[in-house]
Structure 1
Amino acid sequence: MSGSDDKPRGSLFDAIRDRRRVVSSDVSDVVPRGLSIAAAYSWRILFVAAAIGLAVWLVIELKLLVIPLLVAILVTALLWPAFTWMLRSRVPRWLAIVISVVGTLAIVTGLMWLAVWQITLQWDSVQASTVAALDQFRQYLIDGPLHLTEEQIDGMLDQGVSFLQQQADLLWNGALALGSTVGHIATGIVLSLFILLCLLADGAGVWRWALRLFPRRARPAADGAGHAGFITVVNYARTQLLVATIDAIGIGIGAFFLGVPLAIPIAVLVFLGAFVPIVGAVVTGAVAVFLALVYNGPWIALWMLVVVLAVQQIEGHILQPLLMGSAVKVHPLAIVLVVAGGTLIAGIPGALFAVPLAAFVNVVAIYVGQRAWETGESPRGDMIWSTVPRPRRRTT
């Protein structure tokens, strides 16, 4: 009895499966092949976009951890050539770490102190020049094409003061938020220093631990791609440091000989801005020209513009191709778009890390696409951490 009951039930299921196959076959015959292929690509692209969006969201949510990590990696890449040179020169690792970290802190602190010292030294003259520039601007509003009156200008100033008074609570809240931000920055600096020390002291161990997060079969590819990407970041950081130094010296000397005040702070600003390719040079150059216009007049500002453009042309057409070569194969248009996107997503940190991240991803994609790890050829050993051995090419 039970066997007779099972047979009709099985026949029913078989009929349903056959019917589904027929319907699927009919649908496949009706839908054009191109549309089927496009649909297959579409849902895969949607899944990839969702995964990327989730990753970006996690990075933004964990920015207090991600930013110090990226800063430490970038500083490690910046110090890596000098650090490995000291190790090859038989300097003890602990002493090389101390020299690298303390030297970096001393240089950064010295630049900041020098900028603040010159601002303090020239504060009286800068203040007088600012007042004179404001008076000239006020007179221009009266005598210029706008033909504003004293009463109109005073009225706009009164409205501005009233607006600030009405926003006193907002400003107070902003001050509290600034205090919180300062605390976050201090915590991030300490965390970055700790990560930097760990990377310099035991970078190989950190990398081997990171490789364990990948499946065993994917570890050779991940290892080779990570090494290739790190070499790219090292070359990028080294080149940007040299370019930033040359830009700062050139524009700073130009501002000094033209009599523009705050020449040293301008040079420091140019040095820091050079680490944001293209966009940083434009912004810091505009600041230098604006200061020359305010404090020295239009002719000095014009000469300051000539100096800025000359330095940037030398950088773009001589220094970058000569020093960078093919190390970071990112088109200038892609750089601008990446910096703009990074700024929109994460502000100043996004602008700072956008290009090295893009270069890293670009090199990793090329490495994986070419299946370069199967050849057994490793990147330059003196620029990377020694990790798991590479697989050799099979002869059978």
Structure 2
Amino acid sequence: MPPRDLSPPPEDVTPYVPVGVRIAAAYSWRLLVIAGALGVVIWLIGELSVLATTLAIALLLAALMVPLVNLLTHKARLPRGLATAVTVIAGLAVLGGLMTFVIIQFSDGLPALQQQLNRSLDEARRWLIEGPLHLKSSDISRFIDQMITLIQENQASITTSALTTATAVGEFLTGFLLTLFILIFFLVHGEHIWAFLLRAVPKPARQVVDNAGKEGFASLISYVRATMVVAVVDAVGVGIGLWILGVPLVVPLATLVFLGAFVPIIGAVVAGGVAVIIALVTVGWIKALVLLAIVTAVMQLEGHVLQPILLGRAVKLHPLAVILAITGGLIVSGIAGALLAVPLLAVLNAGTKSLIADQRNANSGNSPDSPEPAED
């Protein structure tokens, strides 16, 4: 039997490590670095949530308005600054007119809604007394008194909530003005801002990043256009159903459906649910069920016909990815995060596809078609 080799192992132990362990270790430390970088980015977004949300909303509005700015610049031969001013002023006029009309309609329809609500409450009280529950009038009155006492005991917290709401309104106005300011610069100097940001990218990878950024912004434009059309169709469909069934506050509820459509899946369901509840209170449960069927049909039309046709393959996202993105955005930044999560996912999806395509072209020896962006 030969003697065992008791000499110390060589300094390089790599040949003695199994290949699978080496591959797993290589992936692990890279994934840890990526996770750490994402953690830092998420932490910065949380610390600068107001600024990050403002920038994201301004970029979303820029994607909505930049086609009209380009049309006025190239077709009407207007200077870009003037085209931006016309577009922004027209957008503010449409938004202001719509909000004013909704407020007027809500104010006019509120008294009738209150009367109908009182009648519904009286019918509910009569059913509780004369129906199968056979409750006593004194029990119902005692329950109402307990609710009033509860509200009075929590008056301080209600007042604090009102003050918090007033503070939130002030922050909203500040954010609105900041968003408007950033939006104007995005529309006027967007290409120069992007060229400046590209300078931070190493020159060999600059063209690839430029292609990915342009593809991402193009997908954002397609997403905003498609979402706008879907929102209009949802609002018109549900609004017609509300009008036929005689539900009050048709225009405000249709506007709520329009705004809710910008948060895919969840927003339309919540807005439609509010409309069904108001129909249940005002026109009875039979018409509320009919309205529920109308809302469901409109949602099916949106999910199975409009979105696949309008969004196309470049922006097409799996419903599970949409739900997870909305949930994550809601956890990180609330309603604003839920609104911006899906557009961000669409941009990342298109940018990643562009990076993969450029990598395949590089591996196959094909050069990109577009020239390298010039430095400003």
> Does the pair score TM above 0.5?
yes
Kindly report which structure 2 residues correspond to 1:104-183, keeping only aligned pairs within 5 A, or say none: 104-144=91-131, 146-183=133-170
| Residue 268 (structure 1) shift | 0.5
Q: Is the 8 A contact 1:236 1:327 kept in 2?
A: no
1:65 maps onto 2:51 in alignment: yes
Amino acid aligned to 1:355:
V
Amino acid aligned to 2:64:
L
Aligned match of 1:78 in 64, 85, 88?
64
**Which position in structure 2 is the counterpart of 1:187?**
174
**Which position in structure 1 is the counterpart of 2:373?**
388
In the aligned structure 2, how far is the partner of 1:250 from the partner of 1:228?
A: 33
Amino acid aligned to 1:181:
A
**Which position in structure 2 is the counterpart of 1:220?**
207
| Residue 314 (structure 1) shift | 2.3
**Which position in structure 2 is the counterpart of 1:91?**
78
Local SS of the residue matching 1:325 = helix
| Residue 21 (structure 1) shift | 4.4
In the aligned structure 2, how far is the partner of 1:226 from the partner of 1:142?
A: 65
Q: C-alpha deviations, 1:309-343, integer Å up to 9, x for none? A: 22222222222222222130211221122112211
Local SS of the residue matching 1:292 = helix
Q: C-alpha deviations, 1:117-161, integer Å up to 9, x for none? A: 111111211110111222233334444555543333333333333
In the aligned structure 1, how far is the partner of 2:48 from the partner of 2:127?
A: 49
Local SS of the residue matching 2:263 = coil
| Residue 39 (structure 1) shift | 3.5
Q: Is the 8 A contact 2:358 2:368 kept in 1?
A: no
Aligned match of 1:377 in 366, 369, 374?
369
Local SS of the residue matching 2:328 = helix
Q: Is the 8 A contact 2:236 2:254 kept in 1?
A: yes
Q: C-alpha deviations, 1:76-111, integer Å up to 9, x for none? A: 101122221111212332332122111111111122
In the aligned structure 2, how far is the partner of 1:20 from the partner of 1:224?
A: 50
Local SS of the residue matching 1:260 = coil
In the aligned structure 2, how far is the partner of 1:20 from the partner of 1:126?
A: 87
Instruction: Identify which range, 185-194 or 332-341, moves more after superposition.
Output: 332-341
In the aligned structure 1, how far is the partner of 2:79 from the partner of 2:340?
A: 31
| Residue 41 (structure 1) shift | 2.3
Kindly report which structure 2 residues correspond to 1:33-72, keeping only aligned pairs within 5 A, or say none: 33-72=19-58
Structure 2: runs of 5 or more not aligned: 1-6
**Number of residue equivalences:** 363
1:301 maps onto 2:301 in alignment: no
1:246 maps onto 2:233 in alignment: yes
| Residue 291 (structure 1) shift | 1.4
In the aligned structure 1, how far is the partner of 2:127 from the partner of 2:204?
A: 72
| Residue 254 (structure 1) shift | 1.7
Instruction: Identify which range, 260-269 or 366-375, moves more after superposition.
Output: 366-375
Aligned match of 1:231 in 212, 218, 224?
218
In the aligned structure 2, how far is the partner of 1:168 from the partner of 1:378?
A: 65
1:346 maps onto 2:333 in alignment: yes
**Which position in structure 1 is the counterpart of 2:3?**
none
In the aligned structure 1, how far is the partner of 2:9 from the partner of 2:64?
A: 61
Task: Provide the aligned C-alpha RMSD in A.
Answer: 2.4
Local SS of the residue matching 1:277 = coil
TM (norm. structure 2) is 0.89
**Which position in structure 2 is the counterpart of 1:384?**
none
**Which position in structure 2 is the counterpart of 1:310?**
297
Structure 1: runs of 5 or more not aligned: 1-17, 380-386, 391-396
**Which position in structure 1 is the counterpart of 2:196?**
209
In the aligned structure 2, how far is the partner of 1:345 from the partner of 1:137?
A: 41
In the aligned structure 2, how far is the partner of 1:238 from the partner of 1:290?
A: 30
Instruction: Identify which range, 309-318 or 76-85, moves more after superposition.
Output: 309-318
**Which position in structure 1 is the counterpart of 2:318?**
331
Q: Report the CA distance shift for 1:40/1:298 in structure 2 as closer, same or farther (over 3 A).
A: same
Larger Rg over CA atoms = 1
In the aligned structure 2, how far is the partner of 1:205 from the partner of 1:119?
A: 44
Amino acid aligned to 1:388:
P
